[in-house]
């Protein structure tokens, strides 16, 4: 790989499991060594790989609305911290906590990086931050400890998610444990309140025209049944517009053949030319449709100032009928609606627009959340051993153990984890549901089957995990839409933007991103005409966009 140059940190910016897990017990037990100073960590391990003398690890905690602390546990003292102490003799200490669903975690991490006082283990989803730390020699090279200590099961993930591991590797050295995922789960869906559909005697829209008509019913009639017309929102937007979160425009622009996704969606068009999602000519009719809906009062007027937390309040209180969003909607925020009112908000394929082939943009599998270890940490192998234990506990144990350590977002209490991406199991689960049995499923997929079956037969009707899994992976869930429609339709477009980033893009991405959101907001709200989009394209190209395209054309040559 070419040497990567980072000028600054930008402020914006399981496989089907193949073998039964066994913990490696090949290390020779030797006593009397200080784990924080020995050059051979194995000397401080017993025959089961447990440290004989305690090893301390500080970590940065990403909190979020979805995070849950149960049974009076804390971030410092909980089921995972006690498990790591009991099984590995690792003492976890919290370096800091910050909310990762806002800018709080990112800002705190940037401050910590500037101070040079990094935690032993920490995460980032910002590729630019990861690259800068690696280039500056601030991260531990995990290549040797991964090869030595990772179990066969973990190494199978490396085969399955080869692109993810490639993204965590620079000049042949592994500088992070990647998220281990396929990014097609990022695809957008249209989420609709089931009760509003019934109350307005409507069907889920299959076209943009039908979407507009349904939004009009939702916004002007009385879909919530409170006796008042016009006090509800047809289609919700949030101020970030192009981000992969609740109420973005991603699903709508996809209908017009624009594979949009935040500021990173570079790809080659049908002619092999390097291009960028948000400068596509098809954005004009997409923005025109949104502007018309806004003018008619079908979109929330205050979206320009609507934070995600405020938007979730509107969703929970029953003000919103529809929104485009990601596959985890029944985990959050629509679990709130179900718990409060017993109402299901269900995912549907994005409506399409006549005359256009719909296209859905997703990130390169080479990018995503990275778990890193600071350069001078004396026991980098501890992270790999924790990953092994996580895998054993979550993926190869009983349902009770799975429920304790994974369900209810408890996996977040572990400093390192495998996201357990649903798409790995979705196809197997669909087959299992067809035959009505979980027999033959991989160990970690069986609890998912039980959740879906339990929700559908009513025995787990009030279980958050059952509702979340059902909405994501049942026959009527979101991921089967990807498997059975988006992928067969060849609608998925993956960004070419992997671990390499041109200097010109790194320098200008924040301002280009702001320019995009500001322009789209102005056009949707009517502050600027739709034709202003042409001006925006020229501004984007001049402000580093064209140079970015030129550099990316060289960096990621056509195959």
At 465-501, the pLDDT tens digits run 999 999 999 999 999 999 999 999 999 999 999 888 8
Q: What is the mean pLDDT of residues 222-251?
A: 95
Distance in angstroms (rounded) separating the CA atoms of residues 195 and 320: 12
Task: Count CB neighbours of 426 within 10 A.
Answer: 23
Q: How do beta strands 55-63 and 90-99 pair?
A: parallel
Per-residue pLDDT at 505 exceeds 60: yes
| pLDDT at residue 369 is higher than 60 | yes
What value does the mean pLDDT of the chain take? Answer: 90
- Map tokens 């090949």 to a residue: 26
Give the three-class secondary structure for 2: coil
Buried b (16+ CB within 10 A) or exposed e, 95-111: bebbbbbeeebbebbbe
pLDDT in tens, 328-362: 999 999 999 999 999 999 999 999 999 999 999 99
pLDDT score for 420? 65
What number of residues does the chain have? 559
State residue 368's pLDDT score. 85
pLDDT given at position 7: 31
Instruction: Please state, in angstroms and rounded to a whole number, the distance separating the CA atoms of residues 242 and 387.
Output: 33
More confident: 395 or 26:
395
47 Cβ neighbours under 8 A, 6+ residues apart: 25, 27, 29
- Res 22 pLDDT > 80: no
pLDDT-based confidence at residue 423 (cuts at 50, 70, 90)? low
**CA–CA distance from 401 to each of 237, 447, 516 (Å)?**
39, 11, 46
Confidence class for position 422, pLDDT limits 50, 70, 90: low
Give, in degrees to the nearest 5, the angle at Cα 480 between 474 and 485: 150
Nearest CA-CA partner of 106 in 93, 92, 96: 96
Let me know: does 489 contact 549? Beta carbons within 8 Å: no
What DSSP string describes 365-393? TT-S-EEEEBTT-S-THHHHHHHHHHHHH
Q: Is the peptide bond before 264 cis (omega within 30 degrees of 0)?
A: no
Residue 247: pLDDT band (50, 70, 90) is very high
pLDDT at 55 over 90: yes
Long-range contacts of 195-201, Cβ-Cβ distance < 8 Å, separation of 24 or more: 195/223, 195/341, 195/343, 196/223, 196/224, 196/321, 199/223, 199/224, 199/225
Residues 391 and 151 sit within 8 Å (Cβ to Cβ): yes
Average pLDDT over residues 204-216: 98
The pLDDT > 90 percentage for the chain reads: 75
């Amino acid at each position: 790989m070419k040497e990567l140059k980072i000028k600054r940190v930008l402020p914006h910016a399981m496989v089907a499991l193949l073998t039964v897990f066994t913990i490696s017990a090949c290390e020779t037990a030797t006593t009397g060594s200080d784990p924080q100073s020995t050059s051979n960590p194995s000397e401080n391990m017993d025959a089961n790989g447990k440290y004989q003398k305690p090893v301390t690890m500080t970590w940065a905690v990403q909190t979020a609305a979805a995070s849950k602390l149960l049974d009076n546990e804390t971030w410092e003292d909980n089921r995972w911290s006690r498990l790591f102490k009991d099984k590995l003799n690792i003492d976890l200490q919290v370096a800091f906590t910050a909310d990762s669903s806002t800018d709080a975690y990112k800002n705190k991490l940037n401050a910590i990086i500037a101070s040079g006082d990094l935690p032993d283990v920490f995460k980032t989803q910002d590729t630019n931050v990861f690259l800068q730390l690696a280039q500056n020699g601030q991260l531990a090279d995990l290549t040797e400890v991964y090869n030595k200590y990772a179990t066969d099961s973990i190494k199978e993930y490396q085969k399955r998610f080869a692109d993810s591991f490639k993204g965590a590797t620079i000049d042949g050295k592994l500088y992070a444990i990647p998220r281990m995922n396929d990014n097609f789960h990022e695809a957008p869906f249209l989420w609709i309140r089931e009760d509003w559909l019934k109350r307005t005697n409507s069907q889920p829209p299959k076209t943009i025209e039908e979407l507009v008509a349904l939004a009009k019913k939702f916004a002007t009639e009385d879909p919530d049944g409170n006796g008042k017309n016009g006090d509800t929102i047809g289609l919700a937007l949030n101020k970030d517009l192009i981000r992969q979160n609740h109420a973005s425009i991603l699903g709508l622009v996809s209908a017009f053949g624009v594979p949009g996704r935040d500021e990173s969606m570079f790809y080659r068009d049908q002619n092999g030319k390097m291009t960028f999602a948000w400068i596509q000519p098809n954005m004009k009719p997409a923005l025109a449709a949104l502007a018309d809906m806004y003018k008619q009062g079908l979109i929330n007027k205050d979206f320009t100032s609507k934070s995600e937390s405020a938007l979730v309040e509107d969703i929970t209180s029953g003000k919103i009928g529809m929104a485009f969003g990601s596959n985890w909607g029944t985990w959050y925020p629509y679990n709130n609606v179900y718990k409060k009112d017993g109402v299901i908000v269900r995912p549907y394929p994005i409506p399409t627009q006549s005359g256009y082939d719909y296209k859905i943009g997703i990130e390169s599998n080479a990018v995503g959340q990275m778990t890193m270890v600071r350069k001078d940490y004396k026991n980098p192998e501890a992270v790999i051993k924790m990953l092994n234990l996580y895998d054993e506990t979550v993926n190869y144990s009983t349902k009770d153990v799975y429920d304790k350590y994974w369900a209810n977002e408890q996996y977040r209490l572990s400093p390192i984890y495998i996201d357990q991406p649903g798409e790995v199991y979705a196809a197997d689960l669909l087959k299992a549901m067809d035959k009505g049995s979980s027999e033959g499923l991989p160990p970690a997929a069986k609890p998912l089957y039980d959740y879906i079956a339990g929700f559908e037969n009513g025995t787990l009707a009030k279980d958050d995990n059952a509702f979340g899994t059902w909405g994501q992976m049942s026959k009527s869930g979101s991921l089967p839409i990807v498997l059975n429609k988006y992928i067969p339709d060849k609608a998925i477009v993956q960004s070419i933007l992997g671990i390499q980033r041109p200097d010109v893009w790194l320098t200008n991405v924040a301002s280009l991103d702001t320019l995009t959101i500001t322009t789209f907001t102005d056009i949707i709200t009517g502050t600027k005409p739709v034709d202003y989009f042409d001006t925006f394209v020229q501004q984007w190209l001049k402000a580093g966009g064209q140079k970015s395209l030129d550099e990316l054309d060289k960096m990621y040559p056509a195959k």
